[in-house]
Structures are given as C-alpha cells and as structure tokens.
C-alpha cells in the first residue's frame, strides 16, 4: 500500500493550489456581508488553552447577570481549514460538498464557502442559508431522496438543480415541480460496517434501478449520475471501494436506457481528524481515490458529501460541575461487595443529552470528560491527580435519560470545577434542544492557522 499520510509541513505547499486570491476572497466577503448584513463574531488567533483560560478568567462568581458559568465551546477554524487542505491533497479529484446538517455553524459555513467547497443540503432552510451567503446554486446538491413538494418548488425557483432520488414517486414529484432538475440516483450500499445505518431509510436496491431509470426516461427527466452513502461513522474503508464498484454497474446499466452518466457522488462517512487508528481518512483515500480513477474516466465529475470529517475535531466543549452527589452505600454492602468498580460520586454539569450531548443518543458517541479546572488550577491537556474511583456524569435537566457518562475515572471534583470534552464538532450543537429551559452552549472562535483570517 502506498503511504500517503501527510506530514504537517507538507500542508505548506497546498494553499497556493486551493486558496482563492485575496481579491476574490474580499469580493466574496463583501457580497456575503451585504446578503447577511450581520456583524460577525470575532475570530481570535489564540491557542485553545489560552482561549479557555481567557473565557474562564472573565468569570466572576459575584456578578449576577453575566451567566459566565454557562458551558461554552471553543471552535478552532484552523482545524477545518487543515481538513480542507488535507482533502485537496489526498482526494484531489473529488469535490467536497459539506453536509451541513453535521454542524451548520455560520463561521464554519462561511469559511468553507470561501474556500470553494460546495454544500449538501436536505431542506429548504438549509438551501436558503447557503444561498444567503452568496454561494452559487450550482454549488449545492439537494441530497435528500424524499423531499417535500414546496421544497422542490423552492429549489426550482432558486435554480438549485442537482438533487437525489431513490424511488419512482419522487420522480413524478420532480417532474411536476422541477422538470429541469439534474437527478442523481442514490443507490443502496452495504452499511453494515457503519454506526448509523442510513440504508434502513434511503437508497435504491440494485434490482430496482432499471425500473427507476425506465420511469425517469418515460418522464423525460435528466438523470446525470449516481450517489451513495456508506453510512455515517463508517468503520471499514473497503465499504467505499465496494460502493464505487456498485455505482459503476449502474453507470453501465444507464446506457441501456439512453443515459450517458457523467456524475458520481461518493457521499459522506469520512472519519474525522482525531481518528488515528482503525479507519482513518488516509486509509479511505488510499482505497477510494484509485478505485474511482480506475473505473471512471475524466469526463465524470466526482463529488463527496463529508460532514464529520470537516468539523469533528474542531470543537472543544467546556462545562462546569454545577452539583455533586456523594453516593452513600449501605454499610453491609460496603463490607461484602467489591466497591472499586461502582461509582462513588455523581457529577451534574451544565450541558447534557438534550443539548450538545445528543450525539450520545443519535450518533452513538462516547464522550470522555477531562479535567479543566480543579482546585483553581487549570489542567487542560495535563495529567491530573489520581482518579478517585469512578464517577457518573449527568446533564442538567430533570430527566434520568440525561446521562453523559455512566462510569468515568475522575479525581474528586467540587461544585464549581470545570470539565472539558474534545472532538465535539459533529452532530452536537446542531441537534441541541432547549428542553427544560437550558440554553445552547455559546461558541467562541479562534484559528490555529493564520490564513483563515483572510476568509472573514
Ligand atoms: C448525513 C449525511 C452526510 C454526512 O455524513 P458524515 O458521516 O457526517 O460524513 C452526507 N450525505 C448525506 C446524504 C447525509 O445524509
């Protein structure tokens, strides 16, 4: 296997290829600002530890109004930028269309728009927010195979033409509301090697694609190619190669129905940057890139819909321990059973399952708390004191499902101390609710890459 893993210093050669000129950047910025007419939050250039410290230092427990003890995120836009460069370096042929449902943060979106990425949208609101940034409708794929009528009309009115389908009813709908659409047939692939099995809901089995192509042809619709999604949180890089082979079969089949396909969409499911063992982005690229090149000529435009890949590692969440319960054990039990493995404390923090940690339920994530402030000492990325047995960590709502970690190894924490969670950028804040009156955690922005400043 070829080693195509990137060294940090290799990134330096790439910006010239991918970075628009300063004039282009400034023009896009003016256009976007006119469209939005909002003041942007400040993007700092401090390292994450200093961002955390500065925010915590602004916390004065004597001040009543500020709510400076709320949980908050530090977003490192430099991480998003590096992921983009890495994509361009390892999969140069494949155009990334960011799956915005993963994290539609306005700053992330603007950075990616400015870098020239496209967008995978699933609803009218998502399309609208991308168009509002001044992004051309040709840089949007409406990648939801089952769409609401009025949303299809909206796409038509706004000249968003690329959209996916996987059933015949959708073709009739599109014929009625958007007859000039450029249709992409989403096929079913093997998603058994993924945490989120999207095949349960979407994708045409290969024994139905003939019928769908025949229907499209009868309706006079323009089908341009194939898409798939190996499943979110995919843990087998081979799934991508197998899916591309399936797509090739449908390309060949399409010719029987008079279609000359020239578009392939390899979907999402790419691992985030913090994944360094098992399936890594390098491994996926090593399989995907050559397979695509071997099976599809240069006339075929290839795009992908990465979501977590771009943002997973870019967000760090800081939360305060707002309450603590010491578990009092029955004396008899304490003398008989081995207590070393059962939690001795319950910590309650100010973001939970109904907020950022919905990823535990919806995205099968395991969120590991780390100590940020204890005994007034700042311990980000430091090895802290001996763990004090086990503890469970809970969110702030009154629901018992609101458990973040049933068993964590932590030192003894006091109310008012802080915990942090890394890699909280994907499928977290986007689905956070305000259940029980708790606000979504605020986001502070920084960048570990200077170039990012040019894009705002
Ligand atoms: C959710 C989704 C994605 C993004 O998936 P990731 O695993 O975050 O990369 C891409 N395409 C479609 C159609 C999706 O529904």
User: What pLDDT score does 26 carry?
Assistant: 59
CA distance 400 to 397: 8
Query: From the CB of 87, is ligand 1 less than 6 Å away?
Result: no
User: What pLDDT score does 195 carry?
Assistant: 82
Query: From the CB of 268, is ligand 1 less than 6 Å away?
Result: yes
The pTM score is 0.89
User: What pLDDT score does 6 carry?
Assistant: 43
Quote the ligand 1 centre to 361 CA distance (angstroms).
Answer: 17
Question: If DSSP states are collapsed to H, E and C, what string results for the chain?
Answer: CCCCCCCHHHHHHCHHHHCCCHHHHHHHHHHHHHHHCCCCCCEECCCHHHHHHHHHHCCCCCCCCCCCCCCEEEEEHHHHHHHHHHHHHHCCCEEEEEEHHHCCCHHHHHHHHHHCCEEEECCHHHHHHHHHCCCCHHHEEECCCCCCHHHHHHHHHCCCCEEEECCHHHHHHHHHHCCCCEEEEEECCCCCCEEECHHHCCCECCCCHHHHHHHHHHCCCEEEEEECCCCEEECCCHHHHHHHHHHHHHHHHHHHCCCCCCEEECCCCCCCCCCCCCCCHHHHHHHHHHHHHHHCCCCCEEEECCCHHHHHHHEEEEEEEEEEEECCCCHHHHHHCCHHHCEEEEEEECCCCCCCCHHHHHCCCCCCCEEEEECCEECCCCCCCCCCCEEEEECCCCCCCCEEEEEEECCCCCCCCEEEECCCCCCCHHHCCCHHHCCCCEEEEECCCHHHHHHC
CA distance 337 to 341: 10
User: What pLDDT score does 27 carry?
Assistant: 62
Instruction: For domain 44-73+312-446, say whether CATH 2.40.37.10 is its number.
Output: yes
The sign of the dihedral angle between the CA atoms of 253, 258, 263, 267 is: negative
Quote the ligand 1 centre to 154 CA distance (angstroms).
Answer: 22
Query: From the CB of 270, is ligand 1 less than 6 Å away?
Result: yes
Give the atom of ligand 1 at the shortest distance from the alpha carbon of 270: 9
User: What pLDDT score does 294 carry?
Assistant: 98
Give the atom of ligand 1 at the shortest distance from the alpha carbon of 198: 15
Which residue's C-alpha comes closest to atom 3 of ligand 1?
A: 268
Query: From the CB of 101, is ligand 1 less than 6 Å away?
Result: yes
Query: From the CB of 425, is ligand 1 less than 6 Å away?
Result: no
Query: From the CB of 267, is ligand 1 less than 6 Å away?
Result: yes
Taking only the tens of pLDDT, the chain with its 456 residues reads: 444 444 444 444 344 444 556 566 656 666 665 565 567 899 999 999 999 999 998 866 666 656 778 999 999 999 999 999 999 999 999 999 999 999 999 999 999 999 999 999 999 999 999 999 999 999 999 999 999 999 999 999 999 999 999 999 999 999 999 999 999 999 999 888 888 888 889 999 999 999 999 999 999 999 999 999 998 888 888 999 999 999 999 999 999 999 999 999 999 999 999 988 889 999 999 999 999 999 999 999 999 999 999 999 999 999 999 999 998 766 555 555 555 567 789 999 999 999 999 999 998 899 999 999 999 999 999 987 778 888 999 999 999 999 999 999 999 999 999 999 999 999 999 999 999 989 899 999 999 999 999 998
Give the atom of ligand 1 at the shortest distance from the alpha carbon of 101: 1
CA distance 15 to 21: 10
Quote the ligand 1 centre to 229 CA distance (angstroms).
Answer: 7
CA distance 174 to 185: 13
As annotated, the active-site residues are 398
User: What pLDDT score does 14 carry?
Assistant: 42
Query: From the CB of 239, is ligand 1 less than 6 Å away?
Result: no
Query: From the CB of 147, is ligand 1 less than 6 Å away?
Result: no
Give the atom of ligand 1 at the shortest distance from the alpha carbon of 269: 7
Closest CA to 47 of 70, 79, 72: 79
User: What pLDDT score does 456 carry?
Assistant: 86
Quote the ligand 1 centre to 172 CA distance (angstroms).
Answer: 25
CATH number of 91-306: 3.20.20.10
Query: From the CB of 314, is ligand 1 less than 6 Å away?
Result: no
CA distance 375 to 378: 9
Quote the ligand 1 centre to 380 CA distance (angstroms).
Answer: 32
User: What pLDDT score does 221 carry?
Assistant: 98
Which residue's C-alpha comes closest to atom 13 of ligand 1?
A: 143
Domains of the chain, residue spans: 44-73+312-446, 91-306
Give the atom of ligand 1 at the shortest distance from the alpha carbon of 186: 13
Quote the ligand 1 centre to 244 CA distance (angstroms).
Answer: 16
């Amino acid at each position: 296997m070829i080693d195509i893993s990137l060294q940090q210093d290799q990134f330096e050669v790439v910006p010239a290829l991918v970075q628009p000129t300063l004039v282009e950047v400034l023009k896009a910025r003016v256009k976007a600002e006119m469209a939005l007419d909002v003041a942007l939050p400040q993007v700092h250039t401090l390292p994450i530890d200093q961002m955390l410290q500065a925010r915590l230092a602004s916390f004065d427990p004597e001040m009543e109004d500020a709510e400076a003890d709320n949980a908050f995120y530090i977003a490192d836009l430099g991480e998003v930028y590096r992921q983009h460069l890495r994509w361009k370096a390892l999969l140069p042929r494949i155009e990334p269309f960011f799956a915005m449902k993963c994290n539609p943060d306005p700053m992330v979106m603007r950075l990616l728009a400015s870098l020239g990425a496209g967008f995978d949208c699933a609803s009218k609101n998502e399309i609208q927010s991308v168009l509002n940034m001044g992004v051309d409708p040709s840089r949007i794929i409406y990648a939801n195979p089952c769409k609401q009528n009025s949303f299809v009309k909206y796409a038509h009115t706004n000249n968003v033409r690329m959209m996916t389908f996987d059933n015949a009813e959708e073709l009739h709908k599109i014929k009625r509301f958007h007859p000039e659409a450029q249709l992409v047939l989403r096929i079913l692939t093997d998603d058994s090697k993924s945490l989120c099995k999207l095949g349960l809901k979407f994708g045409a089995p290969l024994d139905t694609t003939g019928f769908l192509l025949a229907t499209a042809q009868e309706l006079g619709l323009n089908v341009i190619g194939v898409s798939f999604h190996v499943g979110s949180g995919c843990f087998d890089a081979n799934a991508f190669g197998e899916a591309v082979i399936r797509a090739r079969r449908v390309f060949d089949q399409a010719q029987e129905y008079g279609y000359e396909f020239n578009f392939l969409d390899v979907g999402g499911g790419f691992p985030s940057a913090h994944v360094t063992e098992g399936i890594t982005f390098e491994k996926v690229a090593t399989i995907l890139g050559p397979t695509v090149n071997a099976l599809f000529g240069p006339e075929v435009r290839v795009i992908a819909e990465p979501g977590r890949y771009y943002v997973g590692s870019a967000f760090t969440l800081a939360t305060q321990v707002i309450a603590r319960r010491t578990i009092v054990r029955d004396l008899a039990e304490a003398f008989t059973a081995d207590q070393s493995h059962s939690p001795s404390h319950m910590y309650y923090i100010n973001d939970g399952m109904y907020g950022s940690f919905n990823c535990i339920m919806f995205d099968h994530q395991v969120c590991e708390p780390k100590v940020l402030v204890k005994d007034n000492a700042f311990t980000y990325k430091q090895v802290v004191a001996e763990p004090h047995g086990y503890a469970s960590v809970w969110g702030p709502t009154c629901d018992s499902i609101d458990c973040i970690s049933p068993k964590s190894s932590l030192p003894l924490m006091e109310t008012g101390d802080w915990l942090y969670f890394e890699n909280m950028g994907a499928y977290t804040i986007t689905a956070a609710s305000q259940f029980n009156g708790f606000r979504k955690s605020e986001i502070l922005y920084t960048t570990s890459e200077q170039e990012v400043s040019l894009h705002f």
